[in-house]
Chains A and B, each alone.
Chain A
Amino acid sequence: MDLIFAGLEVLYRWDVMLALLVGSIGGVMIGAVPGVGPAVAIAILLPATFWMDPIVGLTLLLGIYGSSMYGGAIPAILINTPGTAVNALTTYDGYPMTLRGEGRKAISIAYTASFVGAIISIICLISLAPVLAKVAPMFGAREIFLAALLGLVLVVVSHRGQAAIAAALACLGIFIGTIGLEPVKYTKRYTFDQSWLASGVDLIVVVLGLYAISQAFMLMQGDDVKTRRVPLGGGMFQGLREVARHPRVAGVSSGFGVLMGIIPGVGEFTSQFLAYTYAQKTSKRPEDFGQGSVEGLIASESANNSVPAAAMVPLLALGIPGEELTAMMLAVFYVHNVVPGPGLFQNQMDFVMAIYLALLFLNILVMVFLLFSTNALMMVARLPNRFLGVGILTLSFVGIYSLRNSATDCLMAAAFGLFGFILKRLSLPIVPIIMGIVLGGIMEAKLRIAMARVKTPYDFIDRPIAMALFVFIILIIAFQIRGAVIQSRRLKEAQWSTRPASTRFGTFLSRRRDFVLTERGKRLREARSTLPRPSTDRD
């Protein structure tokens, strides 16, 4: 209880309250605009928060992070376009409800389920905080190295069907992080004797390029999406009753969200997938899923909204971000010389508690705001895409140029924007690059410290947590390789069993000739002819 009061004391400042209000309402609005998303917004605002107090800057970014998914549900349900990527599953059941005239009810269910998910997650974390404070100091350099490696491996394997390119892009991220002056020996790495590369490639420049500028290019290069207005039916408070009727689905889905949020590199998509599958398998009406099922909507929204709070655990306790948004927040910590990790939990528990409480308050604020502003937010969701692109490009300039007032940074960000544009066109993942930059830096520093104290390779994993993490990493890699080999074998078998005959004209003629001329061909024709030959005799 003392901890909670200490946390409240940290938050009890006008600038923190204002940041919370602006962040949460701004996050909902950003989430409601398809094509922007919290990653773009956080990337743009990140440099602006460097001039603020750490708690003010973090509260602002947390507000956007925690509330964008609420806003993202609005276009997902009403116009079948997810506002943020994690709201994609919401369209499955939300939009069919809108089509049958229950749009307002669907939105209300989404808000309530999101709220329940977030609150369950925050309560879990507040109760877990004392345990985490005891466990976190057990993580030394080796354990943090292994946990970062685990995060990277999970980020790679979570991209099913793209694991090889995800791994390659993660390595590219690690490489980008090493460019410039090496921090211990002060030697240059991959600068190609260019002075502008000596200070390295700033994370913010990469983030703004890959997320914001590339998104601006995508929007400006595409066409405006026409949306049709559907009359909204149902009451705004019906969601409360529906969620109360399915407490098991909301509870279990939130549980999945908390678990998946804590594990670095997993995140919203896996938790939603597990929650949705669970809800469908245990439902009395599984056939309704995808056709406007209330349970499906609850599962999807409560699972994704319970992740942000849980994702703060690896970030705060170990200094390891689990996904790109927490990776960006790590930059705010570093700028203010607040090093997240075991020390933070030991020495600044009030700060940690303040962050959890900020998450709690922002959910309440968002809920109240949304109940009265959904119609107005629909106007925001209908902004023309290419016009949004102009806005994002203008804001990106502020984010990049304010870092060092450098035109070179802007040029680099534009180059990363082009690269991100290509990745988005090809549906290739961007997250591994960011995770590679952030986790690669952590891994390099921690491995150097750890290896100084290690005499034999086994010493590296002789502590229980290190051993557990090591075994976990090996198991994940082994399962991935096994799955790949099995799938590859199946694919080969399927290709051989259904191999079609060649459709080339020459081959076709050759086959036809064989069929007509050879003895075997004649026999085949006789066997296949079911009709008697027409008689040529005249009557």
Chain B
Amino acid sequence: MSDDPFLASKGPRRGQILFALAFAGFAIFILSNLGNQTTWAPRTKLFAQPGFWPGVAGAGMVLFGLLHLRGVRRGMGLRRPWISREDRAEARVWVQPLEYTAWFMVYVFAVPRIGHLPATMIFAPALTWRLGYRSPRLLWASLAFGVAVVLIFKGVLGVKIPGGAVYEYLPDSIRAFALRYL
């Protein structure tokens, strides 16, 4: 990276060019869609136009995004290729959390079906196991943590998370309790 204070001098080098290119591309896409995605209101001043602020934001993203790209490219040294082996390795690291995103979304879809408490009691220890922890102490701790989260947030603080569909099959005596607190 260069030492230029206005451009790009902080952080690791790997992956910066990929990010700068992607950001500049996204910014150009946003600005080029200004006409399609906003409406021009007749007899309205420019500052009150619905597209004024998205336009300002888009123009700023393009201007500063390209400035950043220029700074990153200058910092790399012009002899280097645009995308190096380190950049590609970094891009592979960026997609690794997609697995945890999948875990998270499975949990999200499980809660309204099997209920917050059972879903959390499965999710927390299972993910703990997946991360490589095998000690019974940590696995029990993750289970206790899951139970505590549900009891504190849903039971005590009354945070609005719907009861699971399976709770409907519970006996009448505990169904209302489960729907409200678990």
Which residues between 43 and 81 of chain B lie within 8 Å of chain A, taking CB atoms?
44-45, 47-48, 50-54, 56-61, 63-65, 67-68, 71
Query: Smallest CB-CB separation from A418: which chain B residue?
Result: B97
In the complex, whether B84 has a CB less than 8 A from a CB of chain A is no
Residue from B111, B131, B154 in contact with A389 in the complex, judged by beta carbons closer than 8 Å: B131
Residues of B within 8 A of A161 (CB): 1, 3-5, 7-10
Question: Closest Cβ of chain B: how far from A169's Cβ, in Å?
Answer: 8
Smallest CB-CB separation from A415: which chain B residue?
B101
A199 proximity list for chain B (CB < 8 A):
none
Chain A residues contacting B64 (CB-CB under 8 Å) are: 164-165, 167-168, 171
Smallest CB-CB separation from B15: which chain A residue? A426
- CB pair A221–B96 under 8 Å, yes or no, is yes
Q: Is the CB–CB distance between B53 and A174 below 8 Å?
A: yes
Task: Answer whether residue A192 sits at the interface, using C-beta atoms and an 8 A cutoff.
Answer: yes
Q: In the complex where A387-B131, A414-B104, A451-B45 touch, is A190 in contact with B30 (Cβ < 8 A)?
A: yes
> How far in angstroms is the closest Cβ of chain A from B98?
7
- In contact, A480 and B57 (Cβ under 8 angstroms): no
Q: Are B6 and A426 in contact, CB atoms less than 8 angstroms apart? A: no
A217 → chain B closest CB, angstroms: 4
Q: Which of A6-14, A233-241, A390-398 contacts B (4 or more CB under 8 A)?
A: A390-398
- Contact flags B123-160 to A (C-beta < 8 A → 1, else 0): 11001100111000010011001100100011001111
- A164 adjacent to B68 (CB under 8 Å): yes
B41 adjacent to A185 (CB under 8 Å): yes
Contact A191 B60 (CB under 8 A): no
Total interface residues on A, CB under 8 Å, equals 73
Alpha-carbon gap, A185 to B40, bound state (A) = 10
CA distance A193 to B50 in the complex (A): 16
> How far is the CB of B12 from the nearest CB of chain A, in Å?
7
Q: Which of B11, B103, B124 contacts A428 (CB 8 A)?
A: B11
Chain A residue with the shortest CB-CB distance to B23: A168
Question: Is A483 a contact of B50 with CB atoms below 8 Å?
Answer: no
Alpha-carbon distance between A391 and B128 when the two chains are bound, in angstroms: 9
| Known A-B contacts A393-B127, A447-B47; A175 and B159 likewise in contact (beta carbons under 8 Å) | no
Q: What chain A residues lie within 8 Å of B39 (beta carbons)?
A: 185, 187-188
Quick check: is B182 within 8 A (CB to CB) of the other chain? no
1/0 per position for B1-39, CB-CB distance to A under 8 A? 111111111111001100110010001001001000111
Q: Which of B12, B38, B41, B128 contacts A426 (CB 8 A)?
A: B12
Query: Could you tell me the distance between the alpha carbons of A178 and B58 in the complex, rounded to whole angstroms?
Result: 11
* A160 neighbours in B (Cβ, 8 Å): 5, 10
Contact present for B12 and A190 (CB under 8 Å):
no
Does A394 contact B8, Cβ atoms closer than 8 Å? no
- Check B149 against A398 for contact (C-beta < 8 Å): yes
B11/A427 in contact, CB under 8 A: yes
Contacts of A410 in B (CB 8 A): 104-105, 108
Q: Does A373 contact B (CB under 8 A)?
A: no
Identify the closest chain A residue to B128 (Cβ). A390
Tell me if B109 counts as interface (CB < 8 A to partner A): yes
B residues less than 8 Å from A170 (CB atoms): 60
Q: Establish whether residues A187 and B142, one from each chain, have CB atoms under 8 Å apart when the complex forms.
A: no
Q: Is the CB of B127 within 8 A of A390?
A: yes
Interface with B: A31-39, A333-341, A363-371, A484-492, which one? A484-492
Contact with A along B92-103 (1 / 0, CB 8 A): 011011101101
Instruction: Report if A488-B4 is in contact (Cβ < 8 Å); known contacts: A185-B50, A189-B37, A402-B161.
Output: yes
| Cβ–Cβ contact A190 & B97, under 8 A | no
Q: Do A425 and B8 have beta carbons less than 8 Å apart?
A: no
Provide the main secondary structure of the chain A interface.
helix
User: Cβ of B162 < 8 Å from any Cβ of A?
Assistant: yes
Which residues of B have CB within 8 Å of A516?
Answer: none
| Nearest Cβ on chain B to A179's Cβ, whole angstroms | 8
Q: How far is the CA of A165 from the CA of B58 in the complex (A)?
A: 14
- Chain A residues contacting B6 (CB-CB under 8 Å) are 163-164, 480-481, 483-484, 487-488
Which residues of the other chain, A, contact B158 by a CB distance below 8 angstroms?
51
Contact of A172 among B4, B9, B61 (CB under 8 A): B61
Asked if A187 contacts B50 (CB within 8 A), the reply is yes
| Complex interface: chain B residues within 8 A of A182 (CB) | 50
| Contacting pair B10 A162 (CB below 8 A) | yes
Given contacts A190-B37, A397-B104, A447-B47, contact A168 B65 (CB under 8 A): yes
Tell me, rounded to whole Å, the shortest Cβ–Cβ distance linking B24 to chain A. Answer: 9
CA distance A402 to B98 in the complex (A): 23
Which residues does chain B contribute within 8 Å of A414, judged by CB atoms?
A: 101, 104-105
- Residues in B with CB closer than 8 Å to A481 are 6
CA–CA, A402 and B152, complex, Å: 14
Give 13 pairs: A residue, B residue, CB < 8 Å, sorted on A: A164-B8, A165-B8, A168-B61, A175-B57, A185-B44, A188-B37, A221-B96, A387-B138, A389-B131, A411-B105, A421-B94, A426-B19, A484-B5
Name B residues whose Cβ lies closer than 8 Å to a Cβ of A: 1-12, 15-16, 19-20, 23, 27, 30, 33, 37-39, 41, 44-45, 47-48, 50-54, 56-61, 63-65, 67-68, 71, 90, 93-94, 96-98, 100-101, 103-105, 107-109, 111-112, 120, 123-124, 127-128, 131-133, 138, 141-142, 145-146, 149, 153-154, 157-162
Interface residues, chain A, with chain B CB atoms under 8 Å away: 47-48, 51, 160-165, 167-168, 170-172, 174-175, 178, 182, 184-185, 187-192, 213, 216-217, 220-221, 384, 386-387, 389-391, 393-398, 401-402, 405, 407, 410-411, 414, 417-418, 421-422, 425-428, 436, 440, 443-444, 447-448, 451-452, 480-481, 483-484, 487-488, 491
Beyond known contacts A394-B145, A452-B48: 9 more, CB 8 A cutoff: A192-B37, A397-B104, A401-B111, A418-B97, A426-B19, A443-B53, A447-B47, A483-B6, A491-B2
